[in-house]
A and B are shown apart, each in its own frame.
Chain A
Amino acid sequence: MTEETFEIVLTVNGVHRAARAPARRLLSDLLRHDLGLTGTHVGCEHGVCGCCTVLLDGEPVRSCLMFAVTASGRAVTTVEGLAGPDGRMSPVQQAFQDCHGLQCGFCTPGFLCTITAFLRDTPRPTDEEILEAVSGNLCRCTGYQNILRSVRRASDLMEES
């Protein structure tokens, strides 16, 4: 039996992309396997770890809990799309480097996408708001303290610029 496939069109990091895939293709797998954007990581595939978080029309979502076909016609931002056009790191990326906010880096793409959207909506967050914002992302290496520091640093960097 050959499975029915669907034409899926997305704007990924500002670029028009198209692919054909069965309805059961997860957005995370479409990004990684069909479009070759392996920056989006996949940890648990049931919504718990947050590694696969991307921005859908600017809002953080789990790409492992969405079918690519449902996302068709919409804009997706992945970790590959966070840096400036000249390749300069975004304030959030810069802050993670400055504050040692990553070790193995597996969780980092999900944190970067989540925090990018969070600081856009909440430029000067309280510590409590920061905790709530990153509570849906797991990190097995850092112990989180440097990630929280990175969020505060990113907020400062954004205010300076």
Chain B
Amino acid sequence: MKPPPFAYTAPRTVDAALEALAEPGAKVLAGGQSLIPLLNMRLAAPARLVDINGVAGLGALEATAAGVRAGALVRHAAAGRSEGAARVQPLLRRAVRHVAHPAVRNRGTVVGSLAHADPAAELPAVLAVLGGAVEAASVRGRRTIPAGAFFAGPLEPALAPDELAVSAFFPAAPPRSGSAFAETSRRHGDYALAGVAVTVALGADGTVRSARAGYLGVGATPLVLDLTSVAAEGACAAAFARENVDPDGDVHASADYRRHLAGVLTDRALREATAEALAEARLDGPGARDGDGGGGGAA
């Protein structure tokens, strides 16, 4: 089908975009890889689209010691390609590889994926497990929304209708840490039935200081579980995950199957992330991290 009519503006500056978004019924058009399918299927009919693709200053991908900041026009492909980003926070590249197919990744944006807040999407789970944040702006001012408060519900970000998400921040991996991403989908590149991003950080003595898991596909919003005591005590991570997720069943998979997957994937990702953290601890030095990170991204 074809999209319904809408009014269209293509501002060149962030200020002009914010002015346009202050109009009632306005909606941001970024990569269009989620919004245009909805329009084509006539599941959405916004009065006005504010096309941000020509807005100056939203395309920066900055990797610093503190973390990775992706502007609203950083495409999935660019985020996945960046060696700087992969060095600072390898989980980003590991997760982006599972987002759709290459052609979709060439248009879809990292920030758009967060703003779309699909419960089966990879990047919201990554932002959540890392404790990242989204920077939002409107004519009323700017604010930083922490990941824990950003995902209000399925397809429901904590953004006001007049707000533009200008960037997202993914904190850096600490020293002596590892991460892994694992998911299961029916077909390569499809949205996952369930998936998990795991981070593990070791103390100077080599014991587990922190272990966290961020899930997709097992709830209405990304679920974060603290695995620290499970990992430290060598308890069964799969059983812990099964007990602590509460997925819904749908046409793609039953609730039981998703619960089972959460267990298997948690076990796999925790082992991978721990192995990487141990290897990092042996190398014991900043900058020792290899950009491609080795064992990430199973299935």
Chain A residues within 8 Å of B, Cβ to Cβ: 3-4, 6, 22-24, 26, 29, 45-47, 50, 53, 56, 59-62, 64-67, 69-70, 114, 118, 131-133, 135-136
Known: A65-B32, A136-B103. 5 other contacts (CB 8 A): A26-B2, A26-B3, A46-B37, A118-B102, A136-B102
Given the known inter-chain contacts A3-B5, A24-B6, please indicate yes or no for A67 contacting B102, CB distance below 8 A.
no
CB distance A136 to B5 under 8 Å?
Answer: no
Total chain B interface residues with beta-carbon distance under 8 A: 30
- The chain A residue with its CB closest to the CB of B37 is A46
Most buried by B among A24, A29, A66, A131: A24
Q: Known: A67-B32, A67-B36. Is A23-B101 also a contact (CB below 8 A)?
A: no
> Do A132 and B102 have beta carbons less than 8 Å apart?
yes
B229 at the interface (CB under 8 A from A): no
In the assembled complex, the Cα of A45 lies from the Cα of B49 at a distance in Å of 19
Nearest chain B residue, comparing its CB with the CB of A114: B103
Contact A60:B5 (CB < 8 A) given known A45-B40, A46-B41, A65-B32: no
B51, A61: Cβ atoms closer than 8 Å: no
Name the distance in Å between A61's Cβ and chain B's nearest Cβ: 5
Top 4 A-B residue pairs of the complex, sorted by shortest distance between their CB atoms: A136-B101, A23-B8, A46-B37, A60-B103
The reply to whether A61 and B5 contact each other, CB–CB distance below 8 Å, is no
Interface SS, A side: mixed
Point out the residue from A26, A61, A69 that lies within 8 Å of B103, measured CB to CB. Answer: A61
Most B CB atoms within 10 A — which of A3, A6, A45, A47? A47
Asked if A50 and B101 sit within 8 Å, CB to CB, the answer is: yes
B102 touches A133 (CB 8 A): yes
Whole-angstrom distance from the CB of B40 to the nearest CB of chain A?
5
- Is B206 on the interface with A (CB-CB < 8 A)? no
The reply on B7 being an interface residue by CB < 8 A is yes
- Given A3-B5, A23-B49, A47–B102 Cβ distance below 8 Å? no
Q: Is the CB of B106 within 8 A of A61?
A: yes
Q: In the bound complex, how far is the Cα of B49 from the Cα of A135, in angstroms?
A: 31
- In the assembled complex, how far is the CB of residue B95 from the closest CB belonging to chain A, in whole angstroms? 16
